[in-house]
Structure 1
Amino acid sequence: MNIFRSLKYRNFKLFFYGQSISLMGTWMQKTAVSWLVYRLTGSAFLLGVVTFVSLIPSLVLSPYAGSYVDRHNRFKVMVNSQIISMLQAGALAAMLYFRFYSMTGIILLSLLQGIVNAFDVICRQTLMIDMVDNAGDLPNAIALNSTMTNLARVIGPALAGIVLSTLGEDFCFISNFMSYIPVLICLYLMKMKVVVNVKPQTSLWEELKEGFEYISTEKDLMSLIVLLSVSSLFVLPFNTLMPIFAKDLFHGTAKTFSLFESAMGFGSVLSAIYLANLKSNNHLVKTIIISGFLFGGSVLLLSFSNILLLSLLFMAISGIGMMAQSAAINTYIQAHAAPHMRGRAISYYIMAYQGVMPVGSLLIGVLAEVLGPKEAVAISGCIGILSVLVFIYYKKRFFAPPVPVTTLEIKKL
């Protein structure tokens, strides 16, 4: 089938299968952590804090991580990051297994995972081109990777909902620890020929400055990164409040909360499958605009819904919009960034997508405490719609269609 054409490459296939299992464990743990924190504290603010510390390293460290990855063997960095993540998951599992309910411990371990992810995510994104032999299959590989991530977002929370209500919270954390075993096996079976860039004579600080200057002068890339930053800062954090929607507004349980996560993940999978089937990247900007309206509009409608099934529908639509927007921007950047700048360009994408979200999670937690969860989510949706309108205005005035990086240039990596 056309949608799975990237799986014909051995390295990408091993990566795909290993990560599929690991990410399900990761989402089980994320769901369990959110539920545990709110069950123990009943605080929307602390929910925001835990999300904040798990993602803030992507904001602070992404430019450095991008330059670091450009200087070193990306594959080895990714293997090491997976090992550290496994140890972090093991420490969290042990803490919960022995009923050591420490918010400080949860926050510190979440911070550690965030630091590791700042490097790991950039490695995984920039290694896509090394896992497929034909550069023409790069968009398909990116879309399949997104499909895998979001399918895990459907299955992981669904499993977590069952496990939380039957076997307990600690089993979710143990499952995540065990899920790193298959991914490490698959990584060691891969035969990667990664071209390591010759370490430049310039300092790392000069490289960071060079990367920022490059992004700043490429107006098309910069405008997309700003749009994604606004979306991640003000819109995507609405998901932080879903435990409150499930428990307080709909008087549900952990299973109800898992339905919210799974609904958004299901929409994301549908969106990723659609993107994987695209044979051309000629309409990426149009996809970004439409998906932005879908994302902001569905979040706004969610804030007015008092019916559970309708709320789940809006969650699914928000997943479609969020996935299409972020994946299309990712593909655009990888296809149009200069090869020697790809790691640094992707680092700014990661900073925009994941780095600013923790700040938004903290803000929406405070906003929910002051105004209420529904009001906070409504504001998020309105900002999402407004940001797309501003982007359209900017595009019409300043957006010049760039010349994409050719297949030959990509293969020179």
Structure 2
Amino acid sequence: MTVAASPSPVPTSPLAIPDYRRFWIARFFSVVATSGMVVMLGYQLYDVARSDYGMSIAQAAFQLGLLGLAQFLPLFLLTPIAGVVADRFDRRNVAGLSICLDCTIALALAIATQTGALSLPLLFGLAALHGTARVFIGPALSSIAPNIVPAELMPKAIAINSMAWQTGAVGGPAIAGMLFAGHPALPYWTSTALLMLSAFCVFGIRRLPPPPGNRDSHPVRQIREGLSFVWNDRFLLGCVTLDLFAVLMGGATALLPVFARDILTVNGHAVGADGLGLMRAMPGVGAALVAFVLARRPIANNVGLKMLIGVAIYGAFTIGFGLSTNYYLSLLMLAGVGAGDMVSVFIRSTLVQLHTPDDVRGRVSSISGLAISASNELGEMQSGVAAALLGAIGAVAFGGIGAIAVTAIWFFAFPELKNARTFAARYRTA
């Protein structure tokens, strides 16, 4: 008598899926490594500009803006290509090889710091290479989750992904700041090891062949199709551009080295690299707390309106940080910045993934990633220019006001956003 095999139990959590666990660990290690590396790179660049090149505070702050531009240019130029690569090849291999490139950059920074060979041209060049690695990591890694997680678990997966991101964003800068106090090269050696582990986990995920037909279409046509898809879908266009313009105006993180070295003090002394690491971690603390709540109780109703409210909260706390002269109050304001941003990121990421068909998901993810990176890196450029004109405090406060203004404009310009009630998917996710 033959007994029929019982069907495999349907997972109730993304973490019950082995490939998702590998994906989560890879993402966590990567964020810890790169967030710490980038923060220390910015601090060293500002310090080298002030100490070795004799620049004023305004001139060195402008260099931080140029650093953001150096990371953004590769993203701007290569994003269409990265999206096509993510849709034409095994996304696991694309993400893993790109993480290996980031590992090489961390190793170069470790050696240059260890040997005292740092210079502004070298730091700018390695920042541009990091931007190149990120442009391929983003769409490939983001597109993996919908291929290994059932659609009904995607909101939970997005929240848990965000926990990996935000926990890494908390731990990375804080750990890097402490390691930097021991020796300036230690953060980069640590990042090198973590990125190696991240790549190992990504390569451990099962093969993910590209969607049928994507290898047969001409790459230029695929680029055009991806751009056209987002442009003609007002819902996706509103989601992508909201983040672009809100964070472009409201980004304060680029100027944190200025606050740490020359503005905020504790007991009469500048908070320095240790204080910078904690400041850079605080948005992640606020975001991680919100992500933890969302992983247990995901937002389910009136998602579009809540996304807009999250962006407005982000702008309000940005203003509070800019105007604060107390270090501990500044830390609290930065936590609020991260909390507001997390609400927006969770909702927007879930909506974009579930409202995009799989055969263009890599390209849409790359365009969304370009908007996020543009808002971050060009936001750093905007902050550097504004700081040169208004001072660091005025630049941050002005940016927070701008983020709130963008939210108000998008509320009326894209009614599709505020009218989004649930995360109901329009397309198959795998």
Q: Normalising by the residue count of structure 2, what TM-score does the alignment of the two structures yield?
A: 0.88
Distance 2:358 2:215 in 1: 15
Mean CA deviation greater in 206-215 or 391-400: 391-400
Residues 11-410 of structure 1 aligned to structure 2 (within 5 Å):
11-42=19-50, 43-132=60-149, 134-165=150-181, 167-199=182-214, 201-236=216-251, 238-250=252-264, 251-279=270-298, 281-396=300-415, 404-405=424-425, 409-410=428-429
In 2 relative to 1, CA 117–291 (structure 1 residues): closer, same or farther, beyond 3 Å?
same
Mean CA deviation greater in 335-344 or 167-176: 335-344
Task: Tell me the matched-pair count.
Answer: 404
Gaps of 5+ in 1: none
Residue 4 of structure 2 aligns with which residue? none
Mean CA deviation greater in 393-402 or 220-229: 393-402
In 2 relative to 1, CA 202–5 (structure 1 residues): closer, same or farther, beyond 3 Å?
closer
Please say if residues 91 and 210 of structure 2, whose CA atoms lie closer than 8 Å, have aligned partners that are also in contact.
no
Distance 2:24 2:30 in 1: 10
Q: CA deviation at 1:118?
A: 0.3
Q: CA deviation at 1:60?
A: 2.7
Distance 1:348 1:211 in 2: 8
Distance 1:120 1:86 in 2: 12
Q: Normalising by the residue count of structure 1, what TM-score does the alignment of the two structures yield?
A: 0.92
In 2 relative to 1, CA 285–88 (structure 1 residues): closer, same or farther, beyond 3 Å?
same
Distance 1:326 1:140 in 2: 13
Q: Deviation per CA, 1:223-246, whole angstroms, max 9, x where unpaired?
A: 12121110232112x110011112
Secondary structure of the equivalent of 1:101? coil
Secondary structure of the equivalent of 2:29? helix
Q: CA deviation at 1:57?
A: 2.3
Distance 1:249 1:17 in 2: 37
Please say if residues 155 and 262 of structure 1, whose CA atoms lie closer than 8 Å, have aligned partners that are also in contact.
yes
In 2 relative to 1, CA 272–59 (structure 1 residues): closer, same or farther, beyond 3 Å?
farther
CA-based RMSD: 2.1
Distance 1:319 1:38 in 2: 24
Please say if residues 368 and 375 of structure 1, whose CA atoms lie closer than 8 Å, have aligned partners that are also in contact.
yes
The sequence identity of aligned pairs, in percent, is: 23
Distance 1:184 1:69 in 2: 16
Q: Deviation per CA, 1:74-125, whole angstroms, max 9, x where unpaired?
A: 1111121122221221122111111101211111111111111101111110
Q: Deviation per CA, 1:216-275, whole angstroms, max 9, x where unpaired?
A: 211111112121110232112x11001111221112211111121111110111122233
Q: Deviation per CA, 1:324-378, whole angstroms, max 9, x where unpaired?
A: 2123111111111233222222122111111343222112101101210011011
Secondary structure of the equivalent of 1:23? helix
Q: Among 7, 12, 27, which residue is 2:15 paired with?
A: 7
